[in-house]
Amino acid sequence: MQPNSKIYIAGHRGMVGSAITRRLQQAGFTNFVTRTSDTLDLRDQAAVAAFFQEEKPDYVFLAAAKVGGIVANNTYRAEFLYDNLMIQNNVIHHAHLNGVKKLMFLGSSCIYPKLAPQPLKEEYLLTGTLEPTNEPYAIAKIAGIKLCDAYRSQYGAQFISVMPTNLYGPNDNYDLQNSHVLPALLRKFHDAKANKVEEVVIWGTGTPLREFLHADDMADACFFLMQNYDEPGPINIGVGEDLSIADLARLVQKIVGYEGKLVFDTTKPDGTPRKLMDVSRLHSLGWKAAIPLEQGIRQVYEEKFLQV
C-alpha cells in the first residue's frame, strides 16, 4: 500500500474499523473511502456493485459485520447468519470484479471448534463442532474465509483472512443486552459503583478462560499483515495469554474501584471453556502485541466513563 492508495474500510465506525482507520492515518494514509450503513447497506448486492464500480478502491479492509455477545448471538441467529453472509459475499465478490489489489477479511476466534485443543492453531478450523450459542456467526465467518480462498485459488486474488481474539477498545459496545464480556463488566461495575449497588452478578461460573487484545494492537497487526502477508486460510491475531472470567471480573472491579460483592450466576451459560489463540505464526513474521491488559482496560475505562 502507498500513502495515496485508495482504501475502503468497511465498518469504519465500529471498534475494529475505526482502529484500523486510526492506524493508517498514523502511517500517513489519507485516501479513504467510507460509507455509513445508512448510506450503503452492504447486504444490498446492487448497492454494493454500484459502490465498487463508482469508487474502485485499491485496497479493502472488510471489518463490517453484525456482532454481539452470547445473548445477541443466541437470540438473533437468523440475522447473524444472513446479514454476515450477505455483507461479506457482496464485498468480496465485487472487490474481485473491480480489480481490488488486496482485501483483508476480518473474522473471529469463534470460528474454531468448541472443544479444539488449546491454544487454537489455524489448522484446527473445521475439525470439530462449533459452540452452539454462536454457531450462525461462526459459520458465516468460516464461509468468508473459504470465499477469500476460493477467489485466491481460482483467480489469483490477494484476499487474506485474519482472526482476531476477543477485542476491547475505543468505540466498543457497552449495551448490556448485546455487548461482549469485557465492556459489559466495565459497564456493570461502573453503574454499580455509581448507584451504590451492593453486589454485581456475573454470568456463569467464572471459570472459562479468555484472551483479550486492545483494538489498537489489533489494528497494528492488520496494518502489518496487509503489507507483509499473503497466504490462504486464516491467521490468528492475539496476545497468546488468557485469564479466567472471574480474574477478569476482579481486575475490572479493581480498575473501577467497586467495593461490593461479586456473585456468579451458575444458571447462565459459560460458552466455550477456553479460547486461547496460538499466535506463533504471527510472532514468526515479526509482530507482537504491545499493550498490557490492565493498562489497556484502565485507558478504555477512563476514556469512556471518566472522560479523562
- Which of 55, 51, 29 lies closest to 42 in space, CA to CA? 51
The answer to whether residue 287 sits within a structural domain is: yes
- pLDDT of 253 > 70? The answer is yes
pLDDT at 272 (0 to 100)? 75
Q: Is 250 annotated as a binding residue?
A: no
- Say how many C-beta atoms besides its own lie within 10 A of residue 27's C-beta: 12
pLDDT at 133 (0 to 100)? 86
Listed in sequence order, the residues at least 6 apart from 304 whose beta carbon sits closer than 8 Å to its beta carbon are 170, 172, 174, 186
pLDDT at 274 (0 to 100)? 85
The answer to whether residue 270 sits within a structural domain is: no
The answer to whether residue 45 sits within a structural domain is: yes
The answer to whether residue 258 sits within a structural domain is: no
pLDDT tens for 98-116 read 999 999 999 998 899 988 9
- DSSP summary character for residue 262: E
pLDDT at 173 (0 to 100)? 85
Q: The domain containing residue 165 runs over which residues?
A: 7-171+212-241+275-291
pLDDT tens for 22-38 read 999 999 999 999 999 99
- DSSP summary character for residue 119: S
pLDDT at 308 (0 to 100)? 53
- Which of 28, 88, 25 lies closest to 60 in space, CA to CA? 88
- pLDDT of 227 > 80? The answer is yes
Sheet holding 274-275, edge to edge: 243-244, 209-210, 274-275
What does the block give as the cell for 107? 473474522
Identify residue 16 by its one-letter amino acid code: V
**Any idea what the CATH number is for the domain that residue 285 is in?**
3.40.50.720
Q: What is the mean pLDDT of residues 174-195?
A: 89
Q: Is 272 annotated as a binding residue?
A: no
Q: Do the beta carbons of residue 307 and residue 198 sit within 8 Å?
A: no
The answer to whether residue 265 sits within a structural domain is: no
How many domains does the chain divide into? Answer: 1
How large a percentage of the chain has pLDDT more than 90?
86
Q: Is 288 annotated as a binding residue?
A: no
The answer to whether residue 165 sits within a structural domain is: yes
The answer to whether residue 73 sits within a structural domain is: yes
pLDDT range class, residue 212, cuts 50, 70, 90: very high
pLDDT tens for 195-204 read 999 999 998 9
The answer to whether residue 201 sits within a structural domain is: no
Global confidence as pTM: 0.92
Average pLDDT, the chain: 94
Q: Which residues are catalytic?
A: 137
- pLDDT of 69 > 80? The answer is no
- pLDDT of 254 > 80? The answer is yes
Q: Is 251 annotated as a binding residue?
A: no
